[in-house]
Structure 1
Amino acid sequence: MSAARSDTRQRIQEVARELFAEKGVQRTSLQDIAARLGITKPALYYHFTSRDDLVRSIVAPLIDGGEQFVLECEQAVGLTPTRLLEGYFDYFYAHRADLVTVVSELSTIANLGLVDSMLAWRERLSRVIYGPDQTLEQAVRAVIALGGLQDCCLQFPDAPAEALRAAGVAGALAALGLD
């Protein structure tokens, strides 16, 4: 892919993120994106065949990176729950702009099959924390801890990152019953 094409794709994705945050995915048309960029709709179609293709291109790196994070956790020797939670927070904090798209348009993202991946990560990370024979209580605690930690990345946009990380990880450890 040429640098110019790559730059244009990236600009399209940036503008799409802005409009998705302002209007939502369903209420943002490809024409809206093209107009804000000052390009024609056919020029946009050169880079993305549909709105779903564009949304997928924005969210797929989040999913791919999350899958890599989970694999690394599953393969790590001696990984403590604290380190796992810190890494989980760091990952989602770094990708919070794309997480906003996911959370604000769950039905759209679910139709693309991307929510299933994120829910599967929580289940797999729960097994890393508690082992393969976790109880229902442990599984529930993991969902609360991991989902809550992920939500903290969105809920407190003005909080200093390190303070939010420390408070979030402490809360997640408490939810896991490991504080």
Structure 2
Amino acid sequence: MTRPASDTRHRIQTVARELFTQKGVQRTSLQDIADRLGITKPALYYHFPSREDLVRSILQPLLDEGERFVTEHERRRGKARATPRELLEGFFDFHYKHRADLVLVVSELTTLADLGSIDMLLGWRERLTRLVFGPRPTLEQATRAVIAFGGLQDCCLQFPDALHDELRRATVDGAMAALGL
């Protein structure tokens, strides 16, 4: 019985994510991935024509969801607008959900830059800063926001064994303090 193509794609992505995290994207060949899966390299090429396509396929759901999160909050007006705490809690939940891929993001910033994704990730912080502090944050506000949003992301990676609710509370409280709120 043959497996559906989507199952094979998912298996390739899972193994690639593991190897990319262990060895790095540049030091992991498509042959390494094929060997680990017990498939031929041409079979892997059938699903992903290049390593960059494979990396993009792993990271695209994270990028799409992050963009949706920020855009959704930008569209809210008046009473429907999230408080800074709600914004931080949602951003934490997003990062916590995507911890495995964030390890790849953090360890492979050069690859992300090559894929044109790093500007998007940094842009989210700028846009979230404007949601918290208004359209023209001061330098102090902007630096506080970088510390808060960047630190929030880092906490999702730094404390993998912490319980979700406990880590969320501590992280969001710390981010609120960094924002001066």
Q: Secondary structure at the match of 2:20?
A: helix
2:11 alignment partner AA: R
1:34 to 2:34 alignment: yes
In structure 2, distance between residues paired with 1:108 and 1:133: 31
Q: Deviations over 1:139-165 (max 9, x none)?
A: 111111000000000000011111110
Q: Deviations over 1:9-30 (max 9, x none)?
A: 0110000011011111111100
1:59 to 2:49 alignment: no
Match of 1:82 in 2: 85
Match of 2:122 in 1: 119
> Aligned-pair distance for 1:4?
0.7
Q: Secondary structure at the match of 1:92?
A: helix
1:21 to 2:21 alignment: yes
In structure 1, distance between residues paired with 2:174 and 2:161: 19
Match of 1:134 in 2: 137
> Aligned-pair distance for 1:75?
1.7
Q: Deviations over 1:60-90 (max 9, x none)?
A: 1111100000011112223100000000000
Match of 1:104 in 2: 107
In structure 1, distance between residues paired with 2:103 and 2:81: 32
* Cα root mean square deviation, aligned: 0.9
> Aligned pair count?
176
Structure 1 unaligned residues grouped into runs of 5+ = none
Determine what percentage of the aligned residue pairs are the same residue.
Answer: 70
Q: Secondary structure at the match of 1:79?
A: coil
In structure 1, distance between residues paired with 2:28 and 2:13: 13
Give the TM-score taking structure 1 as reference length.
0.96
In structure 2, distance between residues paired with 1:168 and 1:22: 27
| Preserved CA contact (<8 Å) 2:73 2:81 | no
